Amino acid sequence: MDLINKKIEHYRNVLSMFSDNNDRYKFLIDLARKAKPFPEEFRLENFKVKGCMSQVWLVPKLDDGKLNYLCDSDAMIVKGTVTLVSDIYSGNTAQEILNNDKNLMEELDLGNILSMNRRNGAYNMLN
């Protein structure tokens, strides 16, 4: 199993332990609180995710052929969501990311966890 699928499986297992969406929200907020600090110099318009109600920044960085993502949001649940997505795809080549055909919205049941507006934002993050 490749790194992306291992991380998807990990998050699927963690999220499935919670009995309701409030507990899943708390998990996402906890991820947001534990996220690495976001460098202020990347708080630029060209790194903002379009179509999100909240402000979301997603910055790809190439290190030794692997992409690693820096991310932030001004809303905690959204920040937790973008942190989760960034963690899943970080540490992989662009081709490995493109080759992965998993739909995170379905795999992690994000469509049922997130509100309609957050769901739309998550789709835009993934794109």
Contact of 9 with 102, CB cutoff 8 Å: no
d(CA 50, CA 58): 10
- Cβ-based neighbours of 104, under 8 Å, separated by 6 or more: 8, 85, 88, 110, 122, 126
Active site residue 52: yes
Burial class (CB in 10 A: 0-12, 13-18, 19+), 99: exposed
Catalytic residue, chosen from 28, 35, 52, 82, is 52
Cite the active site residues.
52
